Structure 1
Amino acid sequence: MLKIKGAGGTSGGIGSFFLGLLMVIGGGYLLLNHVMVSSGSWYIWGHSAFGMTLIPLLFGIGILFFNGRSIVGWILTLGGGAMILFGIISRLDIYFRPTSLFNTLLMLTMLVGGLGLVARALREH
């Protein structure tokens, strides 16, 4: 006879697991919704680095249009793209948008309380 198990194959509560999961999703969404991300330009030796990282990418694309199997073209294209992506990510400024204490406590309580419920549901009862 097939016996239905709880969350994670344990005898824990499926209801607690899904309630905790909803709390984690809701709290995480509210928390991340209050985080602001901005960016600025990056410089090397007083000059904009974006143009310098764009040059290998453009040369690589040009070489690939001439010969799609060129190893040098692929290296320049992927390397230039990786440099641009690294430059963008390294210049990100992340800060928490001002909000009330109640909203902050609500977000964090939902997130941490939900994690606690999920962990409890995965434990044997």
Structure 2
Amino acid sequence: MNFKNAGGTDGGSMRFLIGLIMMSGGYLLLPSIIVDPSFGLGSYVFSIGNFLVTRGLVIVPFLFGIGIVFYNSDNKLGWLLPLGSLTALVFGIFANLNIRFTSMSAFDLVVILVLFVGGIGWLLGSLRR
């Protein structure tokens, strides 16, 4: 049997594993990220022009769509309303997140980013023929 390494290259499997281990350096960045939602009661999800869309306005078409789906599951509008409402709600939640870093030295950040990006390079390089 002739087993090929990752990407069909000689030594590709070792490069692949080293790249995968280096990419795990990106995990070191996660504990230093703080995510605060600014999605309070009465706040808007997003705006369309000057019209502010609140969470309640997103839920109303969702409920109508669910009712239509339960009444007639073949109705495409019944499926479009809940899916569109959930998409708008998820988009609004992500748009209202505040993401910030805790204190971290520049050296730590550079080491983490070099490990992560270098690992991606090694991993993709191992798959190249």
Q: Which residue of 2 aligns with 1:65?
A: 70
In the alignment, structure 1 residue 14 sits paired with structure 2 residue 13:
yes
- Superposition pairs of residues 26-45 of structure 1, within 5 angstroms: 26-41=24-39, 42-43=43-44, 44=47
Give the aligned residue type for 1:52.
Answer: L
Give the aligned residue type for 2:111.
Answer: L
Post-superposition offset of 1:18: 0.9
- Superposition pairs of residues 38-117 of structure 1, within 5 angstroms: 38-41=36-39, 42-43=43-44, 44=47, 49-117=54-122
1:56–1:76 contact (8 Å) kept in structure 2:
yes
TM-score by length of 2: 0.70
Gap runs ≥5 in structure 2: none
Post-superposition offset of 1:48: 6.1
Structure of greater Rg:
1
TM-score by length of 1: 0.72
Q: 1-side partners of 2:81 and 2:120: how far apart?
A: 44
Identity of aligned residues (%): 40
Gap runs ≥5 in structure 1: none
Q: 1-side partners of 2:27 and 2:3: how far apart?
A: 32
Give the aligned residue type for 1:63.
Answer: I
Post-superposition offset of 1:36: 2.4
Q: 2-side partners of 1:116 and 1:76: how far apart?
A: 42
Give the aligned residue type for 1:85.
Answer: V
Cα deviation, 1:13-37, whole Å, max 9, x if unaligned, reads 432331221111x211112332222
The structure-2 alpha-carbon separation of the partners of 1:19 and 1:50, relative to structure 1 and needing over 3 Å to count, comes to same
Q: Secondary structure at the match of 1:98?
A: coil
